[in-house]
Amino acid sequence: MRTILHVDLNNFYASVECLYLPELRNVPAAVAGNPANRHGIILAKNMLAKKLGVRTGEALWEAQGKAPGLVTVPPDFAKYLRFSRLARRIYYDYTDQVEPFGIDECWLDVTGSLHLFGSGEEIANAIRVRIREELGVTVSVGVSFNKIFAKLGSDLKKPDATTLITSENFRETVWPLPVEDLLYVGRSTARKLHNFGLATIGSLARVDVEFLTKTLGKWGEVLWLFANGLDSSPVRRIEERAAVKSIGNGTTCPRDLLDNEDARLVFTVLSESVAARLRDYGLKCTGVQIYLRDNRLYSCTRQARLRAPSYLSTVILDKAMEIFTASYAWQRPLRSIGVRALDLVTEKDHLQLSLFEEFEQHEEQREALEHTIDAIRGRFGHGSLLRASCLLDGRLTGFNPKEDHVIHPVSFFK
């Protein structure tokens, strides 16, 4: 049986800010985006703000209603990345099998280190003490025999606590919990399960697996295995970079988009970032997907295939605009849009040439051009070379998704 730890940095962004600004520690405080750019949501909050009911993801004005006098600070992602690295360096003292899940969570497989450092619980406590003393922030750790229960455990007791879930006690500790606490039971799955009267993880575990497969498809079986503690997915070493499945960027605009011209400006910035990231990875995409969300927060995605694999911003932009004009009739102004490159292939992949179109020479020149742009930006900064269209509306285009990009948890099933 494996011993797996899930280490979760508590209120990560807020804890880091509180460390650097000790005066924040005794007042309700939160890290929040800039409301002037309509990014005004709570990204993290400290314990005092949490007690007053402030929740991650809610709008700034909602939070200020609950916690008058809430102090907010802007996020500083470079600082958080540094902390994340420092924390990971501590984990590496105990095992080389460390799999990050977002910026503030990691799974550690310590099965092979038990004879060196003691039981899983002892390692968890040692890590907690070191993070507290060396980094000045706290972690909660879940110790279990699979990744799902370890993650569940780290959420049970916060902050600065260790929770042990063993094969003997998981029926008493995990099964009474609401089914929403299980990883990958989101809003709509939870609703379906509740409709069947499955409110707790235990009831999900005890139901017939074939019934679940019939109603939820293959996800039903996966969730059933999770609930029964039968998850066997390994903790991946960090070096084993998971194959990238898609690359996308999206943004909530400082003002609503009103016409195709507005949309084109924002799509331009996003496509450039997506294309540059594809080139960084040495990948080309064969499909493009756009994401739209209107000012009533209704959202949808549309996608289409490219004629040939590409990592050119112009190709991605043209395709995005083509999908966009074909699928959106401006029923309402748009609040957020995004572009995603799908069905990725390696850049040196074999290419199906076309008999009828002249294409290859052009393509090579354009690729050389975009590589040159990358090189210039790499040396002199992103702003050193911009499209003229970026000057039309500086508010809409004045962002750099490639470098402002933040790491979010990627899929569990890589």
Partner 1 sequence: MPKIDLTVNVRHEPGGKAVPTSIIWEDGRVFAVDRVLDVRKAASLKGGGLGVRYTCRILGKTVLLFNDDDSWFMEK
**What are the catalytic residues?**
105
Question: Which residue lies nearer to partner 1 by CB, 20 or 211?
Answer: 20
Q: Does 134 bind partner 1 (CB under 8 A)?
A: yes
Q: Which span sits near partner 1 by CB under 8 A: 20-28, 217-225, 303-311, 393-401?
A: 20-28
Q: Give yes or no for a cis peptide into 159 (omega within 30° of 0).
A: yes
The secondary structure of 104-155, three-state, reads: CEEEEECHHHHHHHCCHHHHHHHHHHHHHHHHCCCEEEEEECCHHHHHHHHH
Instruction: Considering only CA atoms, give the Rg of the chain.
Output: 24
Report the nearest approach of partner 1 to the CB of residue 135 (Å). Answer: 5
Q: Does 47 bind partner 1 (CB under 8 A)?
A: no
Contact with partner 1 (CB under 8 A) among 53, 112, 136, 398: 136
Residue 382: partners with Cβ closer than 8 Å, 6 or more residues away: 400, 402, 403
* DSSP one-letter code for 244: P
Report the nearest approach of partner 1 to the CB of residue 36 (Å). Answer: 27
Q: Does 22 bind partner 1 (CB under 8 A)?
A: yes
Q: Pairing relation of β-strands 247-257 and 42-45?
A: unpaired
Contact with partner 1 (CB under 8 A) among 59, 135, 244, 304: 135
Listed residue (394, 402, 287) closest to 345, CA to CA: 287
Question: Which residue lies nearer to partner 1 by CB, 13 or 328?
Answer: 13
Q: Does 20 bind partner 1 (CB under 8 A)?
A: yes
Report the nearest approach of partner 1 to the CB of residue 86 (Å). Answer: 8
Report the nearest approach of partner 1 to the CB of residue 379 (Å). Answer: 24
What is the size of the binding site for partner 1 (CB under 8 A)? 11
Report the nearest approach of partner 1 to the CB of residue 89 (Å). Answer: 10
CA angle 35, 41, 45 (to 5 degrees): 125
Contact with partner 1 (CB under 8 A) among 3, 5, 14, 19: 19
Question: Which residue lies nearer to partner 1 by CB, 93 or 349?
Answer: 93
Q: Which span sits near partner 1 by CB under 8 A: 53-61, 96-104, 133-141, 405-413?
A: 133-141
Q: Does 129 bind partner 1 (CB under 8 A)?
A: no
Q: Does 137 bind partner 1 (CB under 8 A)?
A: yes
Q: Which span sits near partner 1 by CB under 8 A: 14-22, 65-73, 158-166, 397-405?
A: 14-22
CA angle 338, 343, 348 (to 5 degrees): 115
Dihedral sign computed on CA atoms, order 35, 36, 39, 45: negative
Contact predicate 336/252, CB 8 Å? yes
Exposed e or buried b per residue across 65-91, where buried means at least 16 C-beta atoms within 10 angstroms of its C-beta: eebeebbbbebeeeebeebbeebeebb
Q: Give the pair of three-digit tokens for residue 100.
A: 């990050």
Report the nearest approach of partner 1 to the CB of residue 128 (Å). Answer: 14
Q: Does 21 bind partner 1 (CB under 8 A)?
A: yes
Residue appearing with tokens 């038990």: 114
Report the nearest approach of partner 1 to the CB of residue 249 (Å). Answer: 30
Contact with partner 1 (CB under 8 A) among 1, 36, 133, 331: 133
Q: How far apart are CA 54 and CA 62, in angstroms?
A: 8
Q: Which span sits near partner 1 by CB under 8 A: 116-124, 132-140, 151-159, 164-172?
A: 132-140
Q: What residues numbered 69-88 form the site for partner 1, per CB under 8 A?
A: 86
Contact predicate 250/266, CB 8 Å? no
Q: Side by side, which strands form the sheet with 29-32? A: 42-45, 29-32, 71-73
Chain contacts with partner 1 (rule: CB under 8 A): 19-22, 86, 132-137
